[in-house]
Amino acid sequence: MNKEKILNFIKKYKLQLIIFLVVFTALIIGLIISFSFKKVNIAKNDGITANTNAEVIKEETYEGLVLNNISLITENGYSTFTADVTNTNQTDSNIKDINIVLKDKKGNIVITLRGHIGENLKSNEKRTITAVTKGNLNNVYSKEIKAYENAA
């Protein structure tokens, strides 16, 4: 008698059971895919850090060139220094390169990066410079902008 009731139940609710199984299967597959994507995203974001020390990211002026919107980002074993450079002089600037001296908390030089400005920067013109180096620069505490001196 139990077998008969079960068969009658299945016959009566066949369409509803099929819909339930399809939705349930789709839900399980969706959860599996969702967990997979979250793991990938976490792994990608783990290696990115920004140096937010006030002395590193503060605006600087060198020979009438204002450096602002400064960032120092480390990702995948490389550090990237980026800054907007604006010529505030009344005349064109012929400074093609600058040294970006990065120091630790004690004032010791950690590294000197070359900031390549390129061709003459007209009065009030803005350009973005980028300098990349291998290594983590999260221990940098301050920066100093100096005249470019080729170390080679």
The per-residue pLDDT for range 113-130, each reduced to its tens digit, is: 999 999 999 999 999 999
State both tokens at 9: 């139940």
Q: Are the C-beta atoms of 74 and 138 separated by less than 8 Å? A: yes
Q: What Å distances lie between residue 110 and 76, 101, 135, CA to CA?
A: 19, 8, 11
Question: CA–CA separation, 136 vs 76, rounded Å?
Answer: 9
Question: CA–CA separation, 125 vs 25, rounded Å?
Answer: 60
CATH topology of domain 49-147: Immunoglobulin-like (2.60.40)
Query: pLDDT of 58-99, one tens digit each?
Result: 999 999 999 999 999 999 899 999 999 999 999 999 999 999
Query: pLDDT of 29-66, one tens digit each?
Result: 887 777 665 444 434 445 789 999 999 999 999 999 99
pTM: 0.68
Mean pLDDT score of the chain, rounded to an integer? 87
Query: For the residues 100-115, what does the mean pLDDT come to?
Result: 95
